[in-house]
Structures are given as structure tokens and as C-alpha cells.
Amino acid sequence: MNKTQAYNTKHRERYLDELMEFLRIPSVSADPNHAEDMMKAARFVSSQLQQAGADRVEIMATEGHPIVYGERMLSPDLPTVLVYGHYDVQPPDPLDLWHSAPFEPVVKPTEKHPQGAIFARGSSDDKGQVFMHIKAFEAMNKTGELPCNVKFMIEGEEEVGSAHLGPFAAAHKDLLQCDVIVVSDTGIIDNQTPVITVGLRGLSYVEIELTGPNRDLHSGLYGGAVANPINILSEMIAGLVDENRKVTIPGFYNDVLTVSDEERAEMNKAPFELKAYLEDLEIDAPCGETGYTTLERTTIRPSLDANGIWGGYTGKGAKTVLPSKAFAKISMRLVPNQNSEKIAKLFKEYFESIAPDCVKANVTYLHGGEPYVMPIDSEGYQAGYKAMKKTFGKAPIPMRSGGSIPIIPLFEEVLGVKSILLGFGLDSDLIHSPNEHFGLFNFYKGIETIPWFFRYYSELMG
Amino acid sequence: MNKTQAYNTKHRERYLDELMEFLRIPSVSADPNHAEDMMKAARFVSSQLQQAGADRVEIMATEGHPIVYGERMLSPDLPTVLVYGHYDVQPPDPLDLWHSAPFEPVVKPTEKHPQGAIFARGSSDDKGQVFMHIKAFEAMNKTGELPCNVKFMIEGEEEVGSAHLGPFAAAHKDLLQCDVIVVSDTGIIDNQTPVITVGLRGLSYVEIELTGPNRDLHSGLYGGAVANPINILSEMIAGLVDENRKVTIPGFYNDVLTVSDEERAEMNKAPFELKAYLEDLEIDAPCGETGYTTLERTTIRPSLDANGIWGGYTGKGAKTVLPSKAFAKISMRLVPNQNSEKIAKLFKEYFESIAPDCVKANVTYLHGGEPYVMPIDSEGYQAGYKAMKKTFGKAPIPMRSGGSIPIIPLFEEVLGVKSILLGFGLDSDLIHSPNEHFGLFNFYKGIETIPWFFRYYSELMG
């Protein structure tokens, strides 16, 4: 891999310039106003794959945003690695909390990144990490050191639930045939402590519309006699957890796999300092299910969060309105063996059943994904382990993540292939928040590590 | 009053055209973007008073929006009536629910107004009703039938709490000296059933900011371990009422004057049909404090309503954010002898005390006003009673309103003068809501009734 690494070193500056160009495209999949930008981002990925040496590249239409497919097939006798990632990003709001514009990337040093970090929406999640793969692929190609077949599938709907990727995979099983899927959309503990993510939570996301009177009312003339949908919605949301912060939806925990005391003890050996965690978030206390540690609460236990709420007058000053409607977005993170659609159904049934007769509740299922676990004795995990140990000089820790990548369990179901989650971000990257960033160290470390993954994986399969 | 009424009949069309002009000015006091429009509305009122025959008119600056003062002083020996009203209006949102633009008035018939109603923000609350007084004043002046001295004080901050009117009144006690204040900012039961409002609820309006983590977080990585301010805010709002929908704030009911069973029985004889009330609002059930009727809940009992709530992602689609902050606006309607500042203080103390240690709660008092009762044996009430009986052909019913006009009790405190609430709107006018309107019948009936009020009041005082 010497030539590959020398090539990387030589082209460092250009790699960064090209990533900046990618980050300037506001490919917000949730916002219909950015449809054009989505196509622009897809074309950018496609052209990059072509220049990197793919022998087939295609922007493939779906009923939603398109999927960029690329491949370089050396020989049917060699193993095939499929790289999955996404070119779409989260909405950037609230805009006023960004220190620089979300789609005008700048490099600035931070406490954790003295060498600098790229600030832009999507820098860590996931454009920066997708781009590590494209550049590693380019380096291996240009130096003749690519050891196996490679396929790329870069989608544009990860941040809105990947609704069209499952049907796409099912319809293109032959095209996508591979031995392992590699995904860089997760993180490491810090730049000295590599991690391989071996578990993901699932997700069930719903939206609630609560209707009281048929119109906004004057809160003086009607207040006290007519149900206020904001008050009632608050009461209903409050009723979703009990005093131990356990979810009260009947059946919610039925399918939760109990993790053994031994495994829990092992998990809790991972480097974690509650004091530093609280200081980083500037909170006085954690808040979660009684009987579990913070690490457990975000990995092996399901959770329920209101992601948004709105209703009535939200402008400046005072308006004495008793509103007709109130709304909330609520998501539940799931663990093995919970099922996203089943949980959404339980939520809907329960929530609509607890609505008092003075309001009408309507729950809509927006999207979901299943939880996932990666076995550490697989070739994929082992190759990732060796590659990180090589480039970090330290063995990576297998850890579960609290996040969800709904397509990972779906790939296993549809393509019968496991995924290795080889991510290089940090928890402090502020993904999904204002001022998202990605360390230059992490970007280049990814480009350095990925070719080793390909080498070790080919050897283990050889 | 024959000449006055003939004058009114002759100038009907012009009266309406001029009101339309008034309604076209978007004088939204809550919105700083409308500062220019506020001044424009003040100038409109001032010019109208001048044309109507006032011998002194002044736009008087305050620290907020200006107050329009006008007067016609016939003789120090005659009684003086002060007309109070407001030229500011509520914000028009949600705009998409209006069938015609809020500041482009149109006249359309409705079920309750077969002769037509004027649709515009402020048509009933309060520009249309202020304008009845200006036109009645014009008619009495032009025909030489004005029986007493008149003063006008039309303010621009009623919809945001009249913060500068109290200090203004205190600083201009001599200027504002009068025998009675007449206010048309309330309503009648229907066009065949006149009402004089003899009670108003007070108001205490607060805004809540709840802060969890110092930044928006990814709900997957942190969900289940870090307090979500939306969930916690919901729980805290839910805790403000108990299962009987009594407010749980300690001391909240301490100063509530108990209304005797006799008076309650009398009140409940007022025309009210729960079935029609529910049908009008399209709700299946009322919702309020156990042990009280709907009429009682909105008049002799205090209430608590969330007027707005917001936090997290409220756009289209799904964003998996665990937000840093959540907000709510909450108002409490008060009854004699509750005090607005005392209640706000009790709210703040209680709300901040129930915040769990994983969040920080901050409550800001926005504004308030005191409850009010008008004695029915006063000359003001008696004159209003006779005037309405004359023009409606039916004695008006004395009723309490659930709304608040904070300046009324303040006038009594500062000027030592009671107010007669001689309003001509209907509950169905949709004040504070989209599609606010004011019946032409009501507009002209007001202009017809007001001169009789002046006549009877002068006689009773003479």
C-alpha cells in the first residue's frame, strides 16, 4: 500500500478542495425546495467516481431522490466490497446558531481538532465520510493497488428514512451482489481511540395532530371551558413515560432482547466519563430509564423523544389565542428485536386511545428502520479491526451506537450481506446540529485506513 | 335625537367607506415591523376626530405606540363622558386560514348577518366599535344634539397589554377627568338580545424558556440519556392542572371571591345552549373545572391556557433532533380578587421549582391586568340600559365576560371612574381568529344607540 499512501499525501490539498465543493451543495433531502440541489449532488458524486476510475457509473432514478451507483470489477474470482453512504444532509436550521454559513465550508481549529476541522452541514454526516471512500478508491486505482472488486451505492434519502432504497436493493439484487458492505457513517471515541460500531438502534418516527375547536378561539371568552389542544397534547406526551422514565405504551418492551449482566458489565468498561459528558452538554444531571447507565440507555435500551412541537402563537409578544390545533413529532429508538412498524402501530393505538373526548388525535407514521448487530468474528469486522489497528497504532473497541442507519438491517434482509461500520467521526462533530464539523485528522485518517481495510479483507477472503 | 338619527341614515354609506379605510391599515401592535402602520392608524383616528368636530385633538407619544386624545368641551357644568377604545389589532396569523386578506376588508352576508358583515382583522375588535363612537360623535356635533362634554382616548397597545396607558393616565389625570368612561369592546348575545358586560376577567401572561443541553443533539446518540426539553416542558405543563382541571399552583385560588349559589343560579338563567355551543366549535365535549357550568368556567372562575408552544424541528418531514430548548406562552385569566402580578409571581416560583435538575426553567412575566365588576345601580349602567332598551326594543341582560380589558380596572384605580361596557359585537365575530368580522347591523346599531346613551346619561346626571 506504499504507492497508495504516497499518492494520498501528494493529493491532500486537492482532496480537501473537492470535498469543499461537495459541501457547498445544499442537498437537504427533507426540503422539497432543494430538489435541484439533490440532483446536483448526485451528479457531483457520479463525476467523482468516474474520475476516480470506476468503469461503470450511473445515476439511477427512484421514486424519490436518485441513487448513484458506481463499480470497478477486476475479476469475478475476487471478493466484492460494496461501499454505501449518502449524499443528502439534515436541514441546517436553526440557522441563527451557525457561526459560519452551513453551506459555505470553512476550516478552523477547535479544541479537539488543533489541526483544523471543516465546518459545514454534512461535513461529518455523511459527505466527508463518503468522500474518504471515493478518494481511497481513486488512490488504489491510480496506483494499481486495488486488491478486489468495488461497488458504490450512494443514496440521497438517508436523512429522511431511505424509503426507496429497500425497493431499489430488492429490484437490483444482482447488480448489488457483494461479500460485504462497508459504511462510514459512525464515529470513534476520540482521535486516539478507534472504535468499530457493532450495533445500531432502530427508529420509529411519527407525527401527531391534535384538534380541539374548529378554529382558533379567544382565550378569554373560551378559556376554562374548551379543551386547549396544547395543554392536552402536553398531558398526553407527559403520559408516554412513567416516573422511572419507562415508556408506558402497552407492549412497547415486549420484544426487547435482554442483554446479559456479563455483556452489560463488559460494555460499561468502555471509556466514558459522566462528569465530562455532563460538562460538555452543560447539564447538571442525566435523565433516563431507572436502572441503566448512560451508555446502556443510548444503546441497549429503547427511548422516546419529542423531536418537535408547535401550536398557537409563537411570535414575539403576547397573543391570547386558544388554538384549534397542536402538533408534535415523536421518534422512538428501538433495540433488538423491536420492529419499527409494530412499534408505530402500538404508539398510534395507544396515543389515539388516551385522547380525551374533547379533542381528536391523529397519528401518522413517517418512517422507521430496524435495529442491527454485527458479529465480531466476521471477516468484515476482522478486516476493519486490523486496518484501524494498523493506522491508529491501537486496537479498535467494538461498541454499539444509539443512532440508526435503517438501511443496514434492510441490506441484510434483502441482500443477505452484513455491513461493517467503519466510521471516523467524533460525537462532538455536532451532526444534525448547528456548526457540524469534521476533523481534518479524521478525514485523512479515513483515507489512509480504507485501503488497508480492502487489503486485509481481500487477504482474509483469499 | 331625531336630527342625529336622520344624519346617520343619510351618511350610512360614507361611514362604511371610512371604516374600510381604517381597516386597511395593518396596525398590529405586537409586531415591530408594523411601527409605521401604527402611526398611520393613529393619524387616521386623529383626523377623523377633527372632522367630526372635536375642538382639540392630539397624538400623544408614549414609550410605546401613541395615544390619540380628542375632546369637545361644551361647558364645565355639564357631565363629561370619556370614550376609550383601541386602534391596534391582533396579529392576523395563521394567514392561510383567512378566506380574504385580513387587511383588505370585504362585506359578505353570513348566516348570522344576512345583511352582511365586514371581514377584516380589527373589524369587531376594536376598530369597528371605536368607529361607531366617532360617527355618533360626528352626528351629534353636526346636528347640534351633543348633550354633554366628550373626551376620546384611543390607544394603540390594548392587544399587547396596554403597558403605557396606566402611566399615561396617571400623568394626565386632569386632562382625563370625567364622570364615566364608555367602552365598546365587548358584545351582545345575538342581534335580538342586547347585553351589557358587567364583569371582566383579569390576565396574567408569561413566557417559558426551558433549556436542556447546550445545543441541539442527535436523538439517536443521546436519546434516552439526556433530558429532552420538549418532553420535560410537556410534563411540567401537564402538572399545572389536576384531574379536576383545577390549577395546581399553590395559592392560585386563595384570593378568588366565592360567588353565592343565588348569584350562580341567576347567571345560569342567561340564554345558553351547550349543544349549540359544542356544535359551533365542532367538539364532542366541553372541558373545564369540575363542579362549574360552561358559563361559570369562563366568567367567575380563573383559567390557565397555553397560548403557544414551540421547540425542535417543526418543518416538513422528519428530523431526529433532541433540541436544546423548548418554549411556551401561558396565560391565566383571573377573577375578583386575584391580582395579576401576584399570580405571575406564584406561577414563576412554582414552575421554576418543579423543573427537574436536568433542565433549567426561566419564566418571564409579559403582561397582565386586573379583573373588574361594574355595579348595575350606577348612572353609567342605567344610561346604557335605557339606550339599548330604546334601540333594540328589549332590555339588555347584565353579563360577565371571560375576556380581559386590563385598562378598565386600572382606570378605576388611577382616575377613580367606573366604565360602562357597551359593546355590539357577537361571540361569533371570530375576534383574534382568522376571518374576524363585524355585522353591518351591529355597526349601525351601535351608531344609533350611542347618542341615546349620551342623552340618558346627561339626563341622569343633570
Q: What is the pLDDT of residues A44-66, one digit of tens each?
A: 999 999 999 999 999 999 999 99
pLDDT digits (tens, 9 = 90+) for A414-436: 999 999 999 999 989 999 899 99
Domain boundary among A325, A352, A369: A369
Residue B279 in contact with partner chain A when CB distance is under 8 A = no
Question: What 3-state DSSP class applies to A201?
Answer: coil
For residue B237, tell me if it sits in a domain.
yes
Q: Could you tell me the CA-to-CA distances from B189 to B110, B404, B423 in Å, in that order? A: 16, 18, 10
**Per-residue pLDDT band at A248 (split at 50, 70, 90):** very high
Structural contact between residues A169 and A409, judged by C-beta atoms closer than 8 angstroms: no
Interchain CB distance below 8 Å, B303 and A223: yes
Structural contact between residues B241 and B350, judged by C-beta atoms closer than 8 angstroms: no
Type of residue found at A271: P
If asked whether residues A195 and A213 sit together in one domain, one would say: no
* Residues of B classed as catalytic: 88, 158
If asked whether residues A27 and A159 sit together in one domain, one would say: yes
Closest partner residue to B298 (CB to CB) among A222, A329, A434 is A222
Task: Supply the CATH number for residue A396's domain.
Answer: 3.40.630.10
Strands B195-200 and B397-400: parallel
Domain boundary among A326, A346, A369: A369
Longest dimension (CA), chain B: 79
Quote the pLDDT of residue A404. Answer: 84
For residue A270, tell me if it sits in a domain.
no
- Cα–Cα distance measured from residue B180 to residue B183, given in angstroms and rounded to the nearest whole number: 10
| Closest residue in B to A359 (Cα–Cα) | B283
C-alpha angle with apex A45: A41 to A51, nearest 5 degrees?
A: 140
Quote the pLDDT of residue B319. Answer: 87
- B357 CB-contact burial (10 Å; exposed 0-12 / middle 13-18 / buried 19+): exposed
If asked whether residues A180 and A213 sit together in one domain, one would say: no
Interchain CB distance below 8 Å, B318 and A217: no
Quote the pLDDT of residue B406. Answer: 78
Type of residue found at B437: H
Question: What 3-state DSSP class applies to B183?
Answer: strand
Quote the pLDDT of residue B404. Answer: 84
Count A/B contacts: CB-CB distance under 8 Å.
367
- Cα–Cα distance measured from residue A260 to residue A426, given in angstroms and rounded to the nearest whole number: 28
Joined together, the cell numbers standing for residue B442 give: 351591529
For residue B291, tell me if it sits in a domain.
no
- Cα–Cα distance measured from residue B241 to residue B210, given in angstroms and rounded to the nearest whole number: 19
Whether A1 has a pLDDT exceeding 80, the answer reads no
Check residue B284 and give left, alpha or beta (phi > 0: left; psi -120 to 50: alpha).
Answer: alpha
Residue B115 in contact with partner chain A when CB distance is under 8 A = no
Joined together, the cell numbers standing for residue B2 give: 331625531
CA B38 to chain centre: 18
Q: Which residues contact B199 (CB under 8 A, 6 or more apart)?
A: B299, B300, B336, B371, B372, B373, B374, B399, B400, B401
- Cα–Cα distance measured from residue B318 to residue B137, given in angstroms and rounded to the nearest whole number: 58
Mean pLDDT of chain A: 96
Joined together, the cell numbers standing for residue B176 give: 382625563
Joined together, the cell numbers standing for residue A421 give: 461500520
Would you tell me the crossing angle of helices B2-10 and B127-142 to the nearest 10 degrees?
120
Mean pLDDT calculated for residue range A322-351 = 97
If asked whether residues B70 and B215 sit together in one domain, one would say: no
If asked whether residues A207 and A341 sit together in one domain, one would say: yes
If asked whether residues B109 and B129 sit together in one domain, one would say: yes
Q: Which of B141, B138, B39, B145 is nearest to B88 (CA)?
A: B39
Structural contact between residues A192 and A426, judged by C-beta atoms closer than 8 angstroms: no
| Closest residue in B to A159 (Cα–Cα) | B319
Structural contact between residues A377 and A155, judged by C-beta atoms closer than 8 angstroms: no
Whole domain around residue A28: which residue ranges? Answer: 2-200+371-461
Contacts of B230 in chain A (CB under 8 A): 237, 305-309, 328
If asked whether residues A452 and A360 sit together in one domain, one would say: no
**Per-residue pLDDT band at A269 (split at 50, 70, 90):** confident
If asked whether residues B399 and B386 sit together in one domain, one would say: yes
The alpha-carbon gap from B14 to the nearest alpha carbon of chain A, in Å, equals 31
For residue B103, tell me if it sits in a domain.
yes
Interchain CB distance below 8 Å, B220 and A310: no
**Per-residue pLDDT band at A304 (split at 50, 70, 90):** very high
Residue A189 in contact with partner chain B when CB distance is under 8 A = no
If asked whether residues A343 and A390 sit together in one domain, one would say: no
Closest partner residue to B403 (CB to CB) among A159, A201, A218 is A218
Closest partner residue to B224 (CB to CB) among A301, A310, A323 is A301
| Closest residue in B to A229 (Cα–Cα) | B306
Name residues 316-355 of chain B within 8 A of A (Cβ).
Answer: 316-323, 326-329, 331, 333
If asked whether residues A407 and A363 sit together in one domain, one would say: no
Quote the pLDDT of residue A405. Answer: 83
For residue A339, tell me if it sits in a domain.
yes
Q: Is A158 a catalytic residue?
A: yes
If asked whether residues B350 and B450 sit together in one domain, one would say: no
Contacts of A298 in chain B (CB under 8 A): 220-225
Mean pLDDT calculated for residue range A216-221 = 92
| Closest residue in B to A322 (Cα–Cα) | B307
Domains held by chain B: number = 2
> Rg (Cα) of chain A, in Å, rounded?
23
Beta bridge partners of A331: A205, A305
Task: Supply the CATH number for residue A244's domain.
Answer: 3.30.70.360
CA A19 to chain centre: 19
Q: Which helix (H) or strand (E) holds A361?
A: strand A360-369
Instruction: ipTM value, please give it.
Output: 0.79
Interchain CB distance below 8 Å, B307 and A317: no
The alpha-carbon gap from A32 to the nearest alpha carbon of chain B, in Å, equals 9
**Per-residue pLDDT band at A98 (split at 50, 70, 90):** very high
For residue B428, tell me if it sits in a domain.
yes
**Percent of residues, chain A, with pLDDT higher than 70:** 100
Mutation target to probe the A interface, by most A beta carbons within 10 A, among B230, B274, B290, B332 is B230
Mean pLDDT calculated for residue range A314-322 = 91
- Cα–Cα distance measured from residue B86 to residue B431, given in angstroms and rounded to the nearest whole number: 14
pLDDT less than 70: residues of chain B: none
pLDDT digits (tens, 9 = 90+) for A146-193: 999 999 999 999 998 888 999 999 999 999 999 999 999 999 999 999
Longest dimension (CA), chain A: 79
Q: Is A93 a catalytic residue?
A: no
Structural contact between residues A105 and A18, judged by C-beta atoms closer than 8 angstroms: no
Q: Which helix (H) or strand (E) holds B17?
A: helix B12-23
Quote the pLDDT of residue B346. Answer: 98
CA dihedral A318, A319, A323, A326 (to 10 degrees): -30
Contacts of A366 in chain B (CB under 8 A): 317-318
The alpha-carbon gap from B431 to the nearest alpha carbon of chain A, in Å, equals 7
Residue for grid cell 438501511: A407
CA B7 to chain centre: 30
Q: Which of A401, A444, A347 is nearest to A107 (CA)?
A: A444
Residue B291 in contact with partner chain A when CB distance is under 8 A = no
Torsions phi, psi for B105 (to 5 deg): -60, 140
Q: Which residues contact B349 (CB under 8 A, 6 or more apart)?
A: none
Quote the pLDDT of residue B328. Answer: 98
Mean pLDDT calculated for residue range A310-319 = 93
Structural contact between residues A386 and B311, judged by C-beta atoms closer than 8 angstroms: no
Residue for grid cell 466490497: A81
For residue B283, tell me if it sits in a domain.
no
**Per-residue pLDDT band at A348 (split at 50, 70, 90):** very high
- Cα–Cα distance measured from residue A342 to residue B172, given in angstroms and rounded to the nearest whole number: 69
DSSP label at residue B245: -
Residue A312 in contact with partner chain B when CB distance is under 8 A = yes
Type of residue found at B338: Q
Domain boundary among B369, B401, B421: B369
Type of residue found at A263: E
Type of residue found at A133: H
- B143 CB-contact burial (10 Å; exposed 0-12 / middle 13-18 / buried 19+): middle
Contacts of A212 in chain B (CB under 8 A): 283
CA B29 to chain centre: 13
- Cα–Cα distance measured from residue B84 to residue B162, given in angstroms and rounded to the nearest whole number: 12
> Rg (Cα) of chain B, in Å, rounded?
23
Q: Which helix (H) or strand (E) holds B89?
A: none
Quote the pLDDT of residue A22. Answer: 98
Beta bridge partners of B199: B373, B400
How many residues comprise chain A?
462
Q: Could you tell me the CA-to-CA distances from B167 to B160, B203, B235, B250, B413 in Å, in that order? A: 15, 19, 39, 31, 12
**Percent of residues, chain A, with pLDDT higher than 90:** 89
Name residues 235-254 of chain A within 8 A of B (Cβ).
Answer: 235, 237-241
CA B4 to chain centre: 29
For residue B292, tell me if it sits in a domain.
no
Residue A227 in contact with partner chain B when CB distance is under 8 A = yes
If asked whether residues A119 and A7 sit together in one domain, one would say: yes
- Cα–Cα distance measured from residue B248 to residue B252, given in angstroms and rounded to the nearest whole number: 7
- HSE-up of residue A404 (Cα within 13 Å, Cβ side): 34
Q: Could you tell me the CA-to-CA distances from A454 to A83, A125, A391 in Å, in that order? A: 11, 22, 13
Q: Which residues contact B198 (CB under 8 A, 6 or more apart)?
A: B373, B374, B375, B376, B381, B398, B399, B400, B421
Q: Which residue has the higher pLDDT, A459 or A401?
A: A459
Q: Which helix (H) or strand (E) holds B64?
A: none
Whether A360 has a pLDDT exceeding 90, the answer reads yes
Question: What 3-state DSSP class applies to B367?
Answer: strand
Check residue A152 and give left, alpha or beta (phi > 0: left; psi -120 to 50: alpha).
Answer: beta
